[in-house]
Amino acid sequence: MTNYRHQTVMQVRANRDITLPQLQHLLATDNEDEVKELFAQAREVADSVYGKKVFLRGLIEISSHCKNDCLYCGLRRSQTDAVRYRLTDKEILDSCAKGYRLGFRTFVLQGGEDAWFDDTRMVRIVGEIRRNYTDCAITLSLGERSAESYQRLFDAGANRYLLRHETADAAHYARLHPSDMSFNNRMQCLETLKRIGYQVGCGFMVGSPFQTVETIYKDLQFIRTFQPHMVGIGPFIPAHGTPFAGEPQGSVETTLRLLSIIRLLHPHVLLPATTALGTLHPIGRERGIMAGANVVMPNLSPLEHRKDYAIYDNKICTGDEAAECRNCTEYRMRAIGYETVVERGDYKSA
Ligand code: SAH
């Protein structure tokens, strides 16, 4: 039951807004009842918009090559022991075919920033998927590209784009990225994607080095004003060989609380329980759903390349066939009372 102790949770829910002191309180409190109430309220809000359904996205990791040198990422260009691969057109299309048979109606093509996947190649691939699967959503997550490129991919049939903003604090951004990467450009890309008509996802890592409650507060305010269709958050996990290899990993508990807070601030958002959350806790993704998430993204990449999309260490599900990932996800969700559904799972506007 709600009581005076849960005032903060109820206020955040009612206002769809949070103050810095409220955020500080909700991230710091060790009152278990209050935390339970936070999760329960967020779950109730998610149920009221999307029901007891979990949307599936089939993730296809198309390239482990990257021209960028993000300090946290195991695929940064200076990572000398990364195994670099690129999927062929056929491998990508075969992954979609397999995914379609397994009931996926969204394909997410993700990769490093790899010039091999130029506009000509990507337009060809996206166009082919669009023609073969008219009832599916195509999501891209290929980093920063030009406005013209985003437009061409949209015209070829892509519907959604995931581009985590990583942090809404410019000074923090500059500590996570080399000086040739620009906070303003990343934010500009998000605006451009939205203007073109994509359903857009932003997001950030929880517990990235130099993150503070103040930078998280900025992330939340950015989410409130930008009104993305999707928000991807997951704990930071150190990757060997990177400048942050020795940094502490992000907290599962904080990630769960932030999932709930994001759900309360933005009831309609599509919110994945991420692989990173599942990597740090055996039932991390289930706990994410119970905290208000409503999307899971099982891996559809060809088995032989799975382990080489190593953005962080100890990533789970690198040894499972797509069908196993699909079944495992369904089983796990059913165990907590949720159905994985065969539908596109578009954003529901208010
Ligand atoms: N090149 C694409 C895809 C990046 S991978 C892009 O720029 O958008 C997707 C996300 O993984 C990144 O946006 C980042 O937030 C997250 N990520 C990268 N390294 C990570 C790490 N060490 N721990 C946890 N998440 C990480």
**Which residues fall within 8 angstroms of residue 179, CB to CB, at 6 or more apart?**
none
Expressed in angstroms and rounded, the spacing between residue 73 Cα and the centre of ligand 1 is 6
Expressed in angstroms and rounded, the spacing between residue 311 Cα and the centre of ligand 1 is 6
- Protein residue closest via CA to atom 13 of ligand 1: 164
The predicted-structure confidence for 252-309, as pLDDT tens digits, reads as follows: 999 999 999 999 999 999 999 999 999 999 999 999 999 999 999 999 999 999 999 9
- The ligand 1 atom at the shortest distance from the C-alpha of residue 110 is 3
- The ligand 1 atom at the shortest distance from the C-alpha of residue 72 is 22
Expressed in angstroms and rounded, the spacing between residue 48 Cα and the centre of ligand 1 is 30
- Consecutive sets of 10 residues in the chain, 350 residues long: mean pLDDT of each? 76 98 98 97 98 97 98 98 97 98 98 98 98 98 98 98 98 98 98 98 98 98 98 98 98 98 98 98 98 97 96 95 94 97 93
Q: Ligand 1 pocket: which residues have CB below 6 Å?
A: 72-73, 110, 112-113, 141, 143, 163-164, 166, 205, 234, 236-237, 239, 276, 311-312
Q: How far is residue 293's CA from residue 54's CA, in Å, rounded to a whole number? A: 8
Half-sphere exposure of 12 (CA within 13 A, CB side): 32
Residues of the chain by 3-state class (helix, strand, coil), percent to 5: 45, 15, 40
- The ligand 1 atom at the shortest distance from the C-alpha of residue 164 is 13
Among candidate residues 76, 140, 65, the one with its CA nearest the CA of residue 312: 76
Q: How far is residue 207's CA from residue 102's CA, in Å, rounded to a whole number? A: 34
Which pLDDT does position 5 carry in this prediction? 67
Q: How far apart are the first and last CA of the chain?
A: 28
- The ligand 1 atom at the shortest distance from the C-alpha of residue 163 is 8
Which pLDDT does position 3 carry in this prediction? 57
165, 312, 316: residue to mutate for ligand 1 pocket, most atoms within 8 A of CB: 312
Which pLDDT does position 350 carry in this prediction? 80
Expressed in angstroms and rounded, the spacing between residue 92 Cα and the centre of ligand 1 is 20
Expressed in angstroms and rounded, the spacing between residue 201 Cα and the centre of ligand 1 is 13
